[in-house]
Amino acid sequence: MDNKIPKRNEVPEELTWNLSDIYKTNEDWENDYESAKKEADELQVAEGKFALTADSLYDFLKGYESCISKIYKLYGYAEMKRDQDTADAENQKLYARAQSLDVFISEKLSFVEPEILNLEEGKIEDYYKQNEKLKYFKCLLDEIIRTKEHTLSKEMEMLLASAGDMAESMQNAFSSLAYADLKFPDTHDEKGNVIQLTNGRFVPLQMSENREVRKEAFEKFYERYKSFANTWASLYDGQVKKQIFYAKARKYKSSYEAAVDRNNVSTTVCDNLINCVNKNLDKMHKYVKLRKKLLGYDELHMYDVYASMVSDYKCKVSFEEAKAISLEALKPLGDDYIKVLKEAYDNRWIDVVENEGKRGGAYSSGVYGVHPYVLLNWSDTLDDVFTLVHEMGHSMHTYYSNKAQSFFDSNYKIFVAEVASTTNEVLLLKYLLDKATSDKERAYLINHFLESFKGTLYRQTMFAEFEKESNKMAEEGTPLTADTLSGLYMNLNKKYFGEEMISDPLIAYEWCRIPHFYYNFYVYQYATSFSASVAIADRILKEGQKIVDDYKRFLRSGCTSDPVSLLKIAGVDLSTETPVQEALNVFEEYIELLFVEK
């Protein structure tokens, strides 16, 4: 691990994404910016009359589609520019302008949904008969009608839209503090060298074989977060209050109900997940006991969570090697799938390595009419290979959906967004297990699979419980302070990891660093998607082409039905606990298998 983090302009071009595929010049971005503003002004003129006839509604929605798609494109470009270097003032300015434009246009067009909902019952169906072309917007219109009881008057919708800039302040402040302003003390690597501790380096250091390296990094990292605990609590409290405000304004019973309804999913799905995982915490505790035994410790601490239980096997993977592995592992998904992956690798769809100011973690971002992009922070680990196929799964879902659907119909719900990514991870794991040439390698990979269950199915469900309980606390009048949030988090940590784990006091502050807590009940979908993906990948490998065809039909479906129904195309029913329970049974099987391997 090199001590120096490169500046953005020091990163080789081939390891950066090519955002000029979206806008070749700043002038092109400015032209679209002005064009979107102009289109919004022109659309606003139609207020009160755009839905009077089938033809006028169709013509209006075509212009509406053009305007909104420009906003997505402008915003996506600006967000990626910001994330590649969050300390760059020009990038920050561009992103702020995109946010402001989004709010401006939301205000201008806030009359659209209320006016459509004011049409008498059955009018839209009559319009479809009068103008067949209007069915192009059927999914959009169906979604508007579905949320009728939560849509307000034109004046109230405009008021809520005008609060958009303010509403994003907590998330923006979190990103600036966590990724640009927060500086960590130096720590030591396995060779005793002094190195700079960063968000990007924290997890790789936690994977070190040297326990003292892990302990030092853990304590310095979380002490730094703890020193700003009151600030993090204020930010999160503001985020929760925002969610509660919007939920109340839209006549939901709770912020939880409002969040899941946004994806056209019942609260039952998340409740099923939490209930099922809680009924199976014995399996997680069994895993923790196995970890303690294989590591050979009298006490297991939170800084031992990422250490490999199979420490005598080395696995370092370069980005070039990872690309080659991914192309082989994902072959079961077909030649067309592999062809697009190669295009992504050859044409700079991916921003690969960490640089100063770069956003931590990884993500995929879709730009309709262009192609998806992926942000990584590569560190040559096996985890990075899994992250690559995970994010490319997102990108391929976006690619297939964008190619098959119109702009509005392509925008699949967040609930299904993690399915394609985690299906890729399971396919990679099974490929690597099949290719393993030694018992040590097999044990190492089984360890990784168990880590996926621990990190995704259990950890993300724990996060979901934290969100659900903290929102409930706020709704019941309990102040969300650093103490109350840390106490809640510590209790959940003890429950999930069990008595065999020492829940070190500093782990109580882990909630401070989780960006997904600003995404409004996002995380539970990682766990439901992981459960679905275990089943889908297994069927792909066992049943072949028919299942691959069904799976791709799911990928191409965008938001043309509700998420639970779409997943049924791929053979998974998340309205029940069955997929979660079956995945947890697989987890237990692999725990037993690792006992045998070792």
Active site residues: 391
**C-alpha to C-alpha distance for 174 and 265, rounded to whole angstroms:** 28
Give the Cα separation of 339 and 326 in Å (integer).
12
Alpha helices in 505-562 (DSSP H): 524-543, 545-555
Contact 521, 257 (CB under 8 A): no
Q: What is the CA radius of gyration of the chain?
A: 24
Q: How many CB atoms lie within 10 A of CB 377?
A: 22
Backbone angles phi, psi at 300, to 5 degrees: -105, 125
Which has the closest alpha carbon to 520: 242, 274, 252, 266?
Answer: 242
Quote the strand ranges of 348-461, DSSP E: 350-351, 363-365, 373-375
Q: Quick one: tokens of 53? A: 């006839």
Angle between helix axes 459-475 and 524-543 (nearest 10 degrees) is 150
Q: 27 is written with which tokens?
A: 């002038």
Spatial CA neighbour of 350 closest among 368, 376, 370, 382: 376
Other C-beta atoms closer than 10 Å to the C-beta of 206 total: 19
* Cβ-proximal residues to 109 (8 Å cutoff; 6+ apart), any chain: 40, 43, 44, 64, 67
Separation CA 468–CA 498 (nearest Å):
21
Q: Is residue 81 within 8 Å of 375, Cβ to Cβ?
A: no
3-state SS track over 294-351: HHCCCCEEHHHCCCCCCCCCCCECCHHHHHHHHHHHCHHHCHHHHHHHHHHHHCCCEE
Q: Which residues contact 144 (CB under 8 A, 6 or more apart)?
A: 113, 116, 117, 151
